[in-house]
Structure 1
Amino acid sequence: MAVSGPASGPRRRPVVVLYERIADAIHDGTYPPGSTLPSEPRLAAELGVSRPALREALLLLQEDGLLTVRRGVGRTVNDRPPRRGFEHIQPLEELLSAGAGTPLRVRALRRAVEEPTDFTTQHLLAPARAELRFWESLLYGDAAAALSQEWAAADDVLERAHPAFAHALREAGRADRTSMLAVLAAASRGVALTAHSGVTATVLGRRRGAQLERPADTPAVLITQVVRVGDVPVLAAKHMLPTGAPALPVLQSN
């Protein structure tokens, strides 16, 4: 069975695209747990790619625990392939500081109240005329390391789902040295939070490149994250990490 999806984005490395297509096929059941992938020649033909690029993507999938090579059988999908993304609810500045070996600081670029965008409508389920707090921050050490954009759910939603977070956001006001996720984490003692994230390869683009002082075509990783209380999303974020950013520890859970 061929893997569905576009062959490539305009400026994304073929190996990254292949990795994502095969990983998506594993997670959506096209290649279910325990199944054996087609042979390299057949899979390369189905995907319309070269065998060297396919082999590199398959090796990355093995390293990430999605595939296992069995002698005489081939590459098989692990019984419980790990989910992608970082699900641990910890401020990005703390996670990146661990990778950098030195503390990163947060610099506010923008603190505002916005109407919903397509992103927040989808991930925060915000109605058209809602007012959402928006924080854009630069994370930096010796140089710019990452750019974060964070949105909180509307105040009335927070008051019902997580009043302590609503209060903490009001107290934080226009805080310029902390992230919204740090405020949420500090306000959530005794509150059960869950998170889901996605990881995508991309390039910075002109605006984000200028903010991070990098060329527009710099390769980057875009992480999207949604944090919930029960089934209510209370925070949604986009984090842009350019090439050369401190290593991000990834917690993968089954």
Structure 2
Amino acid sequence: MLKQERAVRTLRSLVHSAAKLFLRHGYAQAKLAEISADAGVSTGALHFHFESKAALASAVQVAAAASLREAVRTASRLPGVNALQSLTDASHALADTLRRDVVARAGLQLSCDTTCPTEWDMCQEWQESVRQLLARAAHENLLAEDAIRHDAATSIVAATTGMELLARSDAEWLAHATLTRFWELMLPSLATPEALAELEPAGTRPGGRRSLRPAQRPAAERVALVAEPLLSR
């Protein structure tokens, strides 16, 4: 049992270290020796778990995909929340996971790296999720009469994936406040007046409880915030 637990810890450490170094150097320039050293294990231990750098990159992507899918799936299924709020919440969950999880960030970046073997297209999955949630919103009669679902989906996917790309050099692009401002601009063009009155651009907490917008938080909390298909397939 202890041997198995050590093997699992080593595996997780290697995936985490690989994620850090893939982010820092890119897939092509990352070295297995540096990854094993960062993880505190021998190169022999690394090769025991992964036969190649491609296999290690695949493990990072698999872990990232699972984390991002679960975050968005959970956020988009909160009870008592309508489809437009679910879409808003899902985008916040996606951004939050990318902010705090180095493996998620690395896996997403690897999926867009032409030098890295990949079968995962996160952007396509996110686009399909956005389309599904907008279709659900139309069924729930939440969309304004002149809202065009296809154009809305294109704009939302382009904006949110663009934020992730920009955040690779400036983390503020994935900040909660940045995404909240995006939804403050987007939702009035999507929702009926009745639906808009019930929506929270800053996202909701589990159970459908409204979260405070950044401007409503105490000053100390605002400072701390600044310092600091994905649906079921």
Q: Same fold (TM over 0.5)?
A: no
Which structure is richer in relative contact order (CA contacts within 8 A, separation 6 or more)? 2
Return the structure number with greater helix share. 2
Return the structure number with greater strand share. 1
TM-score (ref. length: structure 1):
0.27
